[in-house]
Chain A
Amino acid sequence: QKEVEQDPGPLSVPEGAIVSLNCTYSNSAFQYFMWYRQYSRKGPELLMYTYSSGNKEDGRFTAQVDKSSKYISLFIRDSQPSDSATYLCAMGKSNTGKLIFGQGTTLQVKP
């Protein structure tokens, strides 16, 4: 079993839709969680970072962490064509600094 599982998609939605991206993990030692956006042929760009269970909001993006269920989500409200990219979840243990990534979900937002 992989430490982090992420549905690869692709996911296609109309402009303005609410998008839900999800990852599950198996190792309860993970303590901090991130979401990255990666455009084609570019490096990943950090979107959200959170250290605790609950919700964290930043503009149209909301990151949700449920440590009891080992489940994290990224919600995108009012999705735009510019949101079309691959979204990667990542998580780490505080004593190592190493991140484990999901395989990424490819999102297409159609105008």
Chain B
Amino acid sequence: SQTIHQWPATLVQPVGSPLSLECTVEGTSNPNLYWYRQAAGRGLQLLFYSIGIDQISSEVPQNLSASRPQDRQFILSSKKLLLSDSGFYLCAWTEDRATEAFFGQGTRLTVV
């Protein structure tokens, strides 16, 4: 069966520090991968999605970037964090373009 791992679960970082969040999917090949951010009491906002290695699309201009170094690995990064980057970050995968999305357990990032 397929599983998705996301870490760390919680992160507190100072303003101006770098960020690296990692997500890996097991049990499938060539998944579509996504990074979402959820602000408190709000729905999910799509940040990046990838349909393959070196194929990453950004949805929202921001202080973040994404990379996919391996087929089943998706990384969210920032060179310098801003206070506004605080939030709950979720990684997700789909098998194809019109199928169910499955989420990791999320990373709660607090920038102080």
Which residues of A line the B interface, CB within 8 A?
A: 4, 6, 8, 31-32, 34, 36, 41-46, 49, 51, 88, 90, 92, 94-104
Smallest CB gap from A36: residue in B: B103
Least Cβ distance of A68 to chain B in Å?
A: 21
Give 1 or 0 for each of B86-108: 1 = CB within 8 Å of chain A CB: 00101000101111111111101
Shortest Cβ distance from B97 into A: residue: A97
> Which of the residues A6, A90, A95, A98 comes within 8 Å of B49, measured between beta carbons?
A98
Contact of B98 among A32, A36, A44, A102 (CB under 8 A): A32
Number of A-B contacts (CB under 8 A): 64
Tally of contact residues, B, Cβ under 8 A:
27
Residues of B whose CB lies within 8 Å of any CB of A are: 6, 32, 34, 41-46, 49, 51, 59, 88, 90, 94, 96-106, 108
How distant is the Cα of A35 from the Cα of B34 in the complex, in angstroms? 18
